[in-house]
Amino acid sequence: MKLALISLAKDDFDVNGPIALLPLFAGTLLDLQINAAQRFGSEKFIFLCPVTHGALLQKIDAMKRQGLDAEYVRSPSELVQYASDEDHIIYMADGILPNEEIIDQLSEV
C-alpha cells in the first residue's frame, strides 16, 4: 500500500499554525499536497504535526467523511501504528509540492 506522510511541523512566520494550512488561491497548500498524493496512488494519508491544530483535525474528519483513510500523528515513532514493512511511504516535507515528473514517477511505483 502507498502511504502519504505529510509533514505539518513547520509553522508560519507569525506562528499561527503550520504553513501547509495557509490559504492559497486554490485552497491550502495541504489541499494541493493531498491532491498530489492521490494522483500518485496513495491509499492512506498520515499527517505528522507535533502540535494539535483544529484546522488539521477538521480536514482529517472531512477526508474520512469522503471515504479516505487519514490519520494524525504527533511524532514519527507513532507511525508504527499505521505503517508496515510492506507499505511504500512517500514523505512530503513541509510546504513541498512534487512537480508533474515526480508525480508520474511515483504513480508507476
13 falls in which pLDDT band (50, 70, 90)? low
Q: Which domain holds residue 29?
A: 2-107
When pLDDT is averaged across residues 23-27 and rounded to a whole number, the result is 80
CA end-to-end span of the chain, whole Å? 10
Domain count, the chain: 1
Q: What is the pLDDT of residues 34-82, one digit of tens each?
A: 999 999 899 999 999 998 888 899 999 999 999 999 999 999 889 888 8
CATH number of the CATH domain containing 81 = 3.90.550.10
SS3 66: coil
Predicted pLDDT at 27: 84
pTM of the model: 0.86
> Can you tell me the distance from the alpha carbon of 33 to that of 24, in angstroms, rounded to the nearest whole number?
12
pLDDT band at 15 (very low <50, low <70, confident <90, very high): low
HEC profile for 79-109? Answer: HHHCCCCCCEEEEECCCCCCCHHHHHHHHCC
User: Which residues lie closer than 8 Å to 89 by C-beta, 6 or more apart?
Assistant: 3, 5, 79, 83
